Chains A and B, each alone.
Chain A
């Protein structure tokens, strides 16, 4: 089955429309409700370190110990324009851009399955207003970037399996490669995808040379980009394996579930999300050959209990709910391939199936949101001003070669480093003031899982005070649909 020719005007209109929507909502929410994530600060800081090679300021974040380079590179051109960095406008641009890109990809895949315009428009509407996608597209995390590459990966992977065309294969490799350097989860997804490709190649009736070349073509970009990942670490920290040997990693080992081994399992759980999707698709589809279907069915059976078992109880984004943005991809595949089953071969059954799946998609909106809500007044109950406390702390301890660790949960502080002059700029989003702090040599901002023993963590690391850990947050789960109220009415 051939994909339809891309309609440039339609794509432009769709992209610009969705991008505008996201960016407006993003600006509104970040300036009004105070939802700003730390990704901006970290990535921008990394970029400035990289480009200006500032020897004084080194910063990282425990959540980003793996130090994926792509989010930094994406922000690089903007980071040279200070007005985009402050206050978080850069992040809004990036996340909205990739959010709109994700919608564009969905549109492309739906078209590949020949949906009529009306159904397509309706489904796109649901995708655009999918709370998860909306959330990540307007709050400026790297998740938006990751979701874009993940969607492309899954979509092209399935298109390649279906059509066996080289261009789908190369598109898939492109998306896998970039996904692998966007987030550490992407790295694991990438590894498992390469494994899946190897399995596919084993099952396909290709000759040895073709199998070898396809494996090389899929493996080489991922490996090369991992090399760049290491190089990126070396550029900034002078250590190729900083993400394993560096200070943040050791701290993260303590803050993550007990041991590194547990941390790895934590990531492994995410891998099963992917298998879960593929498994579900292959279960219902007639597109794969029997043997391949059985392999995926096997993974699917294992994946479900694993997914449930490892689901994070607080509903953070590293949970099974991160499936939500990829549900539509699975649905397309499912939908098209249900026609392979005899019970769906009756005339009109496709339409009914589509309706059923759309309803399912709508119901998914009632899942708990992957949000950690911080209310300003409650955060301030314990400390009169969280941010001023933080700034006071930095002012006090940031001179010389100290390492500052400050812990918090959620999206409450954002900051960025200055250029060249070893001055840390701290942005207080409550007052929208920027503070300058002279010569901090190291800044680590921890993003621990909920309720960790911060005093214990700090005391285990030599020379670190625990004063920065004193933030009080309110964590609360809300249904996803309430995000609209939050954005519009708060």
Chain B
């Protein structure tokens, strides 16, 4: 009988894993800092606040400049691997390697047909595709649905054994251990990859140096115009996958992988130990981990279409999981900060701090500064002047006035760059989206303490259900 509490599907050590989020050293540092902070807050509140304010404002300024520099890099350098039609035509089917496709599925009956159809449409010899649907043993609905639609022979169902943690990366790890392909890719249940993506990836690997072990395709949404939330979400994704990530690739910085459409050299991925089953953003963690081991990720100029979560009720848990995962990743890689520095170098460590740490930190402190601004605008609380000495005031003014607009504008640019011209105007409403992002971030932060490994499942199929309803 399977032990339900036995750890399965985890191939990396605890020190590299989010299983133990904080090391003893980190706990000691926190044990010193937190009481100190509380003491300062109660006994010297003004000084404590000015110090915090300086740190936060300086962070905002650096973060803004960092993002702007990434946008400039995105505009001036071309980093995604581009594959021409001639190169694709020159490929001979017989010479193509076996490609493993891992599709973790959990309660995904609404989109099951769609993923089967999408994979069938992939332009790759069926006998060279090693497709594995990774199902949880207790997920009766999906198992039944798989049986009903009579999967083609190239599709293999792999049942996950009982054990912990019950996460997507654990399923992927177990799938990886069975992978036969030279390359492996992950697709989510609701994904629709571009049909030539596997071939492009094969060419991409062929063009790249040996240390490139991962190629990340761009992600975007097929239901971008469903409602305001999906429009905002699309703006965010377009900015992230079309501007920021290619820019990171162009400057040889670590790339936090997207949750799907990551193409790997299978042997290297196995060598790395696969994904961290305890990390709820295992993709981001893997991107950093492979970089630390001297490997590189490149972006591929091919898109996988996903379903944007169109319901705030489900969107918030998804966001909270992402933020929780980013915090996990940040803390895990800072267990040995000097080792990190040695492995990545000072410049890339700065990237790590800004990209991973900056992302969640900005989301967490934003509400605080919105509140301060509101108080100042509404009641002109004069005491606030004391908290903003000239240098902080100047930095804060720049962040408030230029930083916010810069982020709004880059969202608009991302949409225009993608060709979603009709979405550009929605970028000017995106500050409201930041508010719900921060709500999600706080939820994730609180959950990190209360339920660190809990996987907030993203519900898919709203779009398909909507279409079916409208058809009926």
Contact = CB atoms under 8 A, between A and B. Distances in A.
A, B: real partners = yes
Given A212-B424, A213-B424, A170 B75 contact: yes
A166 B417 contact: yes
- The SS class assigned to the B binding surface is helix
B271 interface: no
A51 B393 contact: yes
B295 interface: no
Interface stretch (B113-121, B130-138, B408-416): B408-416
B336 interface: no
B416 A224 contact: no
Contact of B405 (A51, A166, A221): A221
B422 interface: yes
Task: Rank and list the top 4 A-B pairs by shortest CB-CB distance, nearest first.
Answer: A213-B424, A209-B421, A213-B421, A209-B422
B451 interface: no
Interface centre among A76, A166, A170 (most CB of B within 10 A): A170
A112 to B, nearest CB: 13
A81 interface: no
A170 B413 contact: yes
B369 to A, nearest CB: 17
Given A76-B394, A231-B401, A217 B75 contact: no
B416 A212 contact: no
Given A220-B412, A231-B401, 13 more contacts: A6-B76, A51-B393, A52-B390, A170-B75, A170-B413, A209-B421, A212-B422, A213-B421, A213-B422, A213-B425, A216-B428, A217-B409, A228-B402
Given A166-B416, A216-B412, A210 B421 contact: yes
Contact of B409 (A171, A210, A213, A220): A220
Contact of A221 (B393, B409, B424): B409
A210 B420 CA distance: 8
B25 to A, nearest CB: 38
A217 B405 contact: no
B416 A217 contact: yes
Interface of A: 6, 51-53, 73, 76, 80, 166-167, 170-171, 207, 209-210, 212-214, 216-217, 220-221, 224, 228, 231
A207 B416 CA distance: 13
A217 B425 contact: no
B347 to A, nearest CB: 15
B424 A217 contact: yes
A228 B402 CA distance: 9
Given A207-B421, A221-B405, A213 B75 contact: no
Nearest to B405: A224
A192 B394 CA distance: 32
Interface in B59-108: 75-76
A213 B415 CA distance: 9
B416 A213 contact: yes
Contacts of B416: 166, 213-214, 217
Given A76-B394, A216-B412, A171 B75 contact: yes
A216 B390 CA distance: 34
A217 B390 contact: no
A217 B413 contact: yes
Interface centre among A76, A214, A217 (most CB of B within 10 A): A217
22 contacts: A51-B390, A51-B393, A51-B394, A80-B391, A166-B417, A167-B75, A170-B413, A171-B75, A210-B421, A212-B425, A213-B416, A213-B421, A213-B424, A214-B416, A214-B421, A216-B412, A217-B412, A217-B413, A217-B416, A217-B424, A220-B428, A228-B401
A121 to B, nearest CB: 23
Nearest to B423: A213
B295 to A, nearest CB: 26
B188 to A, nearest CB: 29
A106 B425 CA distance: 34
Nearest to B428: A220
A214 B424 CA distance: 9
Contacts of B428: 216, 220
Nearest to A224: B405
Interface residues of B, number: 22
Interface of B: 75-76, 385, 390-391, 393-394, 398, 401-402, 405, 409, 412-413, 415-417, 421-422, 424-425, 428
Contacts of B76: 6, 167
Nearest to B416: A213
Contacts of A170: 75, 413
B81 to A, nearest CB: 18
Nearest to B413: A170
A230 to B, nearest CB: 11
Interface centre among A209, A212, A221 (most CB of B within 10 A): A209
A73 B394 CA distance: 9
A51 B391 CA distance: 8
Contacts of A209: 421-422
A76 B75 CA distance: 29
A167 B242 CA distance: 13
Contacts of A221: 405, 409
B182 to A, nearest CB: 34
Contact of B425 (A6, A52, A216): A216
Interface centre among A213, A217, A221 (most CB of B within 10 A): A213
Interface centre among B390, B415, B425 (most CB of A within 10 A): B390
A224 to B, nearest CB: 5
Contacts of A167: 75-76
A216 B421 CA distance: 10
A52 B393 CA distance: 9
Contacts of A53: 385
A250 B428 CA distance: 37
A335 to B, nearest CB: 25
Contacts of A214: 416, 421
A210 B421 CA distance: 5
Nearest to B422: A209
A317 B272 CA distance: 66
Nearest to B75: A167
Nearest to A225: B405
A180 to B, nearest CB: 14
A216 B429 CA distance: 13
A33 to B, nearest CB: 34
Contacts of A220: 409, 412, 428
A298 B422 CA distance: 33
Contacts of B425: 212-213, 216
Contacts of A217: 409, 412-413, 416, 424
A217 B401 CA distance: 18
Nearest to A76: B394
A383 B394 CA distance: 42
B386 to A, nearest CB: 12
Nearest to B398: A73
Contacts of B409: 217, 220-221
A436 to B, nearest CB: 21
A78 to B, nearest CB: 12
Contacts of B405: 221, 224
A217 B415 CA distance: 11
Nearest to B406: A221
A51 B428 CA distance: 29
A234 to B, nearest CB: 12
Contacts of B415: 213
A371 B188 CA distance: 69
Contacts of B385: 53
A216 B426 CA distance: 11
B231 to A, nearest CB: 13
B417 A212 contact: no
Contacts of A224: 405
B430 to A, nearest CB: 12
Nearest to B412: A217
A437 B67 CA distance: 45
B391 A212 contact: no
Contacts of A210: 421
A221 B401 CA distance: 12
